[in-house]
Amino acid sequence: MATAACNEAGPGKTTDYEPKGKTTKVSDLPIYVTGKGASAIILFYDILGWGANKLNNFGKKMIFFLYMVIKYVVINRNLFELSDRFAEAGHTVIMCDHFRGNPWPSHRLPFKDDKEQQEFFQWFGKNASPELFVKDMKEIAIPYLEKEQKCTHITSIGFCMGGLMVCVTRQTNLKKKGAFHIADDPKIAGIASIHGARITEELVSKVKCPVYYGATPKDTPVETVKKILDEKDFAKKCVYHTFEKMEHGFCGSRGDWKNAEVKKNVDLVVEQMLAFSKQTIKA
C-alpha cells in the first residue's frame, strides 16, 4: 500500500533494458521466468506492477515481476534487469503479475487529492490485497517452482509494497472478515524486504524465517526491525542495511539506475541478497 514515502517517490523512471527471460501463464497468473537452478528466488514487484501498459518492442511477450503497484504509460524494466542478474548467479527467478494486467497508473502518483487517494485504497483492496498474494504463492507460484522448475530451495525478495507482501507470506496469521487464514509457508526459507511499505512492529513480530531488511531514511528504521528479530531463534541469520543516501523506491521502478550512486547501491543489494540466499540454503 502506498505510504507517504511511496507516494512522494512519484511515477516510475523510463529504462531501455531488454529482458532475457520468458513469460508463461500458469492458471490465470502471468509469470516472468528467467534462469535455471535448484535454488529459486521469487521477486515481488512494487506499486508500479510490471512497469508498463504498453510493451513496445517486447513484441507479443508479456513480461511480469513482483515489485510495487502501478500501471505506466512509460516503460520501466528495472526489476526485470534485477531478476536477470539473480538468474545469472545460478538461480531460477520468477516475477508474477498479481495485478493481472490491472495495476495502479503510474501517472497517478503522487496523489493529487484525497479523492484520488481513496480511489487507490479501493483499487488496492480489489487488486493487491495480501490475501491475493498469499493465494497466488500457495496455489500457483510455489507449486510451479517445485513441479515444473524442480526447485528445492526458495527465497523471496520484495520492493515497496512487495516488501510488505514477502513478510505476509511468512507470518503466523492473516486475519480477514473475522477468520484467520494461515499465511505462513515454510517452503520459503528466507525473505528480503527492500524499502518495504507498511513494515510495522506487529508484522515483523510474526515473521517466521530469516530476514534481509534494507531501508532508506524514510522507511521503517533498521533498528526497529532488528530489535524485534533479535528475539527470534533465527536472529543470527538476519541481515540489515540502511541505504543512507537513497530515496524510497531506488531499487525498483522509481530508481534512476543511470545515476552512479544509485547504481552502486543497487549493486550492493544484489551482492547482499545473493549472499543472504546462499546462507538460507545452509540453514
**Which CATH number is 103's domain given?**
3.40.50.1820
Specify which of 77-91, 99-113, 122-136 reaches the highest per-range mean pLDDT.
77-91
H/E element holding 117? helix 114-127
The answer, yes or no, to whether residue 176 has pLDDT greater than 70, is no
The answer, yes or no, to whether residue 215 has pLDDT greater than 50, is yes
Beta-carbon count within 10 A of 60 CB? 6
Q: What is the pLDDT of residue 72?
A: 35
Least confident interval from 8-12, 102-106, 130-134: 8-12
Specify the amino acid at residue 87.
A
Residue 130 CA, chain-centre distance (Å), reads 12
What's the number of domains the chain is made of? 1
CA distance between the termini of the chain: 32
Nearest CA-CA partner of 255 in 188, 160, 153: 160
Burial class of residue 231 (count of CB atoms within 10 Å of its CB; 0-12, 13-18, 19+):
exposed
Q: Which three cell numbers mark 59?
A: 513484441
In the predicted model, what is the mean pLDDT of residues 176-185? 52
Q: Which three cell numbers mark 78?
A: 528495472
Specify the amino acid at residue 283.
A
Please indicate whether residue 179 or residue 205 has the higher confidence score (pLDDT).
Answer: 205
Write out the residue range of the structural domain in which residue 18 sits: 4-282
